[in-house]
Structure 1
Amino acid sequence: MLLAEPRFSGHRLAYVRVLAEEALRRDQLVHVALPSDAVDSAEFRVHLSDLLGRVSFIEIANFGLNALEETSKRVNASRTVVTDGDGLALELAKRGSWRGAGRLSVLIMRESVQHPGPRILRWLKNGAKKAIVGRAAFLPGVDLAVLKSATWSGKSALRVAVDPVQLSCSSADVEAIRMDWGLDSSKYWFAVLGAITPRKNVPLLADSISRISRMNVGLVIAGKIEPSIRQEVDAAVQEAEGAGVNVVVVDRTLSDRELDAAVTVADCLLLAHSNEGPSGLLGKAACAGTRVLAAGARSLRVDTEGLAGLAEWVELEADAIADAMNHARASNGSGARIATGSDSFLKALLPVG
């Protein structure tokens, strides 16, 4: 088995770990191909370091279809799995064939194109991507799947890989996070978690929470902050604190256990995304029974519809988010939780036979 991931940011390496553990359970030899700087990253230490000695790691300086095919032949892979395969799908569609060893599994992480321009241009680009993905999906030797949220239910013309949801924390882990981060249980804690990138709109959320009644309200920002926005995030934190909001910032890559505990301890998870695509954190919140306030991405709107009573979606606008924050604080109801599991994900990317 060859597992290949051209990018290691966010939760991509968590997907690699899920696949590697399943392949090892099947008594397969596992090779993991990563960019040359991935092994020294915090993401590697969190997600894959415990696999050292159990799998072999290969560095690929320039990811692409040709390099991937050569690597698959070198390790004599019966199957190669690419967990962020959007770019590879374009190469496959252009060439029209997979020439590597064994079969190829490709995961499309973003069905829609992330384009901030005019609607007509976004519509054209989405149409083009749909055609590219459709062509790649039906090439000989290729098993292509699209990533869907853990709350997704419906029909798809393509193979679907439902986001694997796992909660690895204990009640002791939850209490440890509460104590270590100083999350006073008398406050209602909103949380922005995971990799803190521009798409998570921290300044907008800080502005929104500054507009509501701040009594007994706190904001947690926990996860590695992208250096390019650190100054912007610091300014947003100062704004919220100046308005009387208690803000806790944890600027580092969280372990799986810490992330799961943070999702569980939060009163409301904030998902204000500028781009489309499924959110693994939404699935974790749904498992933990944590309320979700989503904004922006239409894909989040669809996903929250499956969490009636536990989630709300609004436009990506400060007043709308502030109103939803007030509504979340006032709501004592709970919605139906979803079960953890990775069966769909594994079945789609590691089919048997």
Structure 2
Amino acid sequence: MISKAHLRNYEIALITTTEALNHPNYDLHLAHLEQQFTTHLIPNADVKTISRLTQSLRTDIMVLPDGDAFVWKEAWKLRQKRHGSVSAVVMRPNSSGKGSIKPFIIELIKRLLLTLANMQPDVIAVPLKSSLWTSQNNQIGVPDPVSFHPDRHAPSMIETAIASNPDRKWLGILGALSARKNIDLVLRSARIVDRSDFGIVLAGHMEPAVAEKIQDKLYETRKKGIEIIVCNTFLTDGELDAILQKLHCVVLAHSNEGPSGILGKAVEAGTFILAAGAKSLREDCRLLPESSHWSPLNEQDLADAIDVALTYPTPIPKQLNTGAIFSESLLQQKG
């Protein structure tokens, strides 16, 4: 968003917290763009605080990349004082299915609030969709913005391991290595695949609880003869893309719904996609019949799917261009 707004010669203000500014992800993804924006610190990243600051800055467009709280709590209210228009991305438009309220009721409420928000003369509220999504029948949404610009080399430990095992096919779980990605299940499934001519790459920042949970699984899987590379660190986009390009297959075994940024990158990299669990990923795989495979999220089905994925040929890379669509949708002024 910053790069696209800069190309339009917009004056850009980044409104954030000290905590976010000190996070490693800031250095990885935004520090190199600091000459393109001014920074304004706020104590808490709540919508009312941000709105007050945008009024004092007299912004023409306020973009909320994580706009769920704004859409569900504020956007639908009448006679709100705002300067300029607001573009909000709804990151979690679907029900999580938790709690005592039925998921379909939550779904209906969210749809209603989204409709009411977009009826405001100064609000654009769009749910985040898969990077493969295209608008049909006037559906509202924005595709997950994908960028794919690999560094010349992957991190050295991965580059060396893959180069020294040219006959081995590599599966990978990349990015934020959280409980959502079910790494322990993937390792258990890998152990019961009736072959050991493949390796596994775990690359990205791993949550401490996940790292502790998989220690025994790593040992047991390696005993089977399956090589595992663990690169537990924050990755730049270029590093992640370079690793993805080295893999035969990326594994997306997700226990919750929602778009996967890794999926779009895999399409651009020409890397096979093995997805499991989330129905949203199943829909994506239906659009990629020659370069993906979906399975239920259980040990045996996932093991069978790994075996199938290893037999597929390397897909042809495909450019998605979703970054331009994403930014064009949010940088337009309403009202």
> What's the TM-score, normalizing by structure 2?
0.92
Contact 1:137–1:143 under 8 Å retained in 2: yes
CA distance in 2, matches of 1:318, 1:242: 18
Contact 2:29–2:236 under 8 Å retained in 1: yes
Alpha carbons of 1:260 and 1:333: their partners in 2 closer, same or farther (altered >3 Å)? closer
Contact 2:175–2:235 under 8 Å retained in 1: yes
User: Hey, what does 2:153 align to over in structure 1?
Assistant: 173
2:111 paired with 1:114: no
SS in 1 for 2:259: coil
Contact 1:202–1:236 under 8 Å retained in 2: no
SS in 1 for 2:215: helix
* TM-fit CA distance, 1:38: 1.0
SS in 1 for 2:35: coil
232-241 or 314-323, larger mean C-alpha shift:
232-241
Alpha carbons of 1:253 and 1:260: their partners in 2 closer, same or farther (altered >3 Å)? same
47-56 or 238-247, larger mean C-alpha shift:
238-247
2:42 paired with 1:67: no
Alpha carbons of 1:175 and 1:59: their partners in 2 closer, same or farther (altered >3 Å)? closer
CA distance in 1, matches of 2:316, 2:99: 36
Contact 2:158–2:229 under 8 Å retained in 1: no
User: Hey, what does 1:53 align to over in structure 2?
Assistant: 35
Contact 1:144–1:158 under 8 Å retained in 2: no
Contact 1:150–1:162 under 8 Å retained in 2: yes
CA distance in 1, matches of 2:59, 2:161: 45
User: Hey, what does 1:305 align to over in structure 2?
Assistant: 286
AA in 1 matched with 2:175: G
User: Hey, what does 2:234 align to over in structure 1?
Assistant: 253
AA in 2 matched with 1:173: H
SS in 2 for 1:327: helix
Considering Cα pairs closer than 8 Å and 6+ residues apart, tell me whether 1 or 2 has the greater RCO.
2
SS in 1 for 2:189: helix
User: Hey, what does 1:26 align to over in structure 2?
Assistant: 8
187-196 or 155-164, larger mean C-alpha shift:
155-164
SS in 2 for 1:235: helix
SS in 2 for 1:283: helix
User: Hey, what does 2:318 align to over in structure 1?
Assistant: 337
Task: List gaps (5 residues or longer) in structure 1.
Answer: 1-18
Contact 1:105–1:144 under 8 Å retained in 2: yes
Contact 1:209–1:240 under 8 Å retained in 2: yes
Q: 1:77 aligns with which of 46, 59, 67?
A: 59
AA in 2 matched with 1:106: A
2:129 paired with 1:138: no
AA in 1 matched with 2:50: L
CA distance in 1, matches of 2:145, 2:179: 25
Alpha carbons of 1:175 and 1:46: their partners in 2 closer, same or farther (altered >3 Å)? closer
Matches within 5 A, 1:1-353: 19-93=1-75, 95-116=77-98, 121-155=102-136, 157-170=138-151, 172-174=152-154, 178-180=158-160, 182=162, 184-332=165-313, 334=315, 337-351=318-332
AA in 2 matched with 1:191: G
SS in 1 for 2:276: strand
- The Cα offsets for residues 141-194 of structure 1, whole Å up to 9 and x where unpaired, read as 001112111212352655321122211115x32596742455633211110000
SS in 2 for 1:159: coil
CA distance in 2, matches of 1:97, 1:191: 50
CA distance in 1, matches of 2:167, 2:132: 30
* TM-fit CA distance, 1:97: 4.8
Alpha carbons of 1:181 and 1:58: their partners in 2 closer, same or farther (altered >3 Å)? farther
| Cα RMSD for the two superposed structures | 2.2
AA in 1 matched with 2:57: V
CA distance in 2, matches of 1:281, 1:273: 12
AA in 2 matched with 1:350: L
Alpha carbons of 1:326 and 1:43: their partners in 2 closer, same or farther (altered >3 Å)? same
* TM-fit CA distance, 1:61: 2.1
AA in 2 matched with 1:284: K
Q: How many residues align?
A: 333
Alpha carbons of 1:94 and 1:150: their partners in 2 closer, same or farther (altered >3 Å)? closer
Contact 1:203–1:233 under 8 Å retained in 2: yes
- The Cα offsets for residues 65-95 of structure 1, whole Å up to 9 and x where unpaired, read as 2112111012211100000111221112563
Contact 1:85–1:106 under 8 Å retained in 2: yes
Percent sequence identity is: 28
SS in 2 for 1:313: strand
CA distance in 1, matches of 2:192, 2:267: 27
Contact 1:98–1:140 under 8 Å retained in 2: no
> What's the TM-score, normalizing by structure 1?
0.88
* TM-fit CA distance, 1:269: 0.5
